[in-house]
Chain A
């Protein structure tokens, strides 16, 4: 019995980190109605940045947050401003902008291959003060890095909630996601909101990257499995829904770790997609989805 409780909790810990990457994706989608296929690659960039920061400085691994999160924020901010915005504007009158999606896919390939070119295909593991450490709570064992990761994720969730609910900019972000044109009439500059939202979506990856690096391999295509999970989670939770993304992440995490008690890891993947299909079948708009027309 205790073994199951242990794996459920471990699932929640890992799932919250999946949820975190999904939050970034859903935030961007919710506001811009753009699927950022480069999301996993941005996570990968963040992981390499964190890896090198930790390896070169030898400082506490979580200090990497101070560098990596702003770095990815500005990376996303300027990626939207320089690469995505011009395409977006060219497609202003198009109801379902497709080109932007192709561009984010392009960015994914460029980033992954650049990483391969620069760092090579090898798997790296950062040696940090928490790597491999376990903690014993009520006769259950948990990796310290995952506990800290989930804690940081929780704090970020609280911050995002506060930002969107109460800050002036956050409200402008919500207004934009509800009605772009009406928001413009309020004096809200769309391109600025998009820059900020893209920056924040990428910053979420930055946080996820920093909490992953102490216990996860770093390699050029590390973003892909996270990316695929993030897409599943975003749709599962309801497109554009932040609580949905977090809950979806946790559910996926639990299925994965509890499933692993009974079967091989490849089968748990299947379990995830089976669950995903069932949810879509029963509630096509996702767990927290609104019947909103995107």
Chain B
């Protein structure tokens, strides 16, 4: 049984359809990338998974449980955690308070100490910056808080939406390394939406390619790196 199974999912915003008949699966322990051009529907797919938009048809199961109609605030509690595009930190709250908010759900409260240790382990800088307002951090630090906040939610699956967006190449590498460590060290399953196709395929097991709200290609990361269409359209080779 797949950890996440999406069957024939259609979703959108109000009357406007954005996702059309999307089916995919994510196995426990995998790192799965979702790649695609701007506006392909990658963020919308993550929003449908985390419950921010409700599907018009289709089915999403998580851990064997149907979560298609579950509200977003309950889905986090199940361990399906969404680190949204653009970081979306609570700008006028401190780094520590942001992390505390990550641990809001009941399940996460129990693991507060352990998760905080993990976050500090992964990003020692966040411990130094504990009392600083999140809005005053640098872009790289903000992304660390966004990821740390996700870890505080005790994720079984972490879904990242363009975590390396707008960061300098050195910082990008750090962020990809952190994602990889979360997968390897904590055994967390990862769904990674990225524009940086090369770096994200490098740390992924499998990948899906989205175009205009549909999955058009799927395969192992290695196969996709060799795919001529991918090479041309996404790797610029």
Contact = CB atoms under 8 A, between A and B. Distances in A.
A188 B101 contact: yes
Nearest to B51: A184
B45 interface: no
Interface residues of A, number: 19
Contacts of A168: 100, 104
B105 interface: yes
Interface in A172-219: 172, 174-175, 178-179, 181-190
B101 A172 contact: yes
Interface in A139-185: 168, 171-172, 174-175, 178-179, 181-185
Contacts of B74: 187
B2 interface: no
B93 interface: yes
Nearest to A184: B72
A184 B81 CA distance: 11
Interface in B45-102: 50, 52, 71-74, 76-77, 81-82, 84, 88-93, 97, 100-102
Contacts of A172: 101, 104
Q: Which of B14, B72, B101 has the most CB of A within 10 A?
A: B101
B90 to A, nearest CB: 4
B112 to A, nearest CB: 11
Contacts of A181: 52, 84, 88
A81 to B, nearest CB: 16
Nearest to A188: B104
Nearest to A94: B14
B90 A187 contact: no
A253 B108 CA distance: 47
A95 interface: no
A178 B87 CA distance: 13
B13 A186 contact: no
B101 A171 contact: yes
Contacts, number: 66
Contacts of A290: 92
B52 A186 contact: no
B153 interface: yes
A179 B88 contact: yes
A175 B81 CA distance: 17
Nearest to A185: B82
Contacts of B71: 189
Given A93-B14, A187-B76, A190-B73, A182 B84 contact: yes
Contacts of B97: 171, 174
A93 B104 contact: no
A187 B105 contact: yes
Contact of B101 (A93, A186, A189): A186
A187 B153 contact: yes
Interface string B96-133: 01001110110010000000000000000000000000
Nearest to B103: A186
Interface of A: 93, 168, 171-172, 174-175, 178-179, 181-190, 290
7 shortest interchain CB distances as A-B pairs? A187-B105, A182-B88, A187-B76, A178-B90, A189-B73, A186-B104, A184-B72
22 contacts: A93-B13, A93-B14, A168-B104, A171-B93, A172-B104, A175-B93, A178-B92, A179-B89, A179-B90, A182-B84, A182-B88, A182-B90, A183-B101, A185-B81, A186-B76, A186-B102, A186-B104, A187-B73, A187-B76, A188-B73, A189-B71, A290-B92
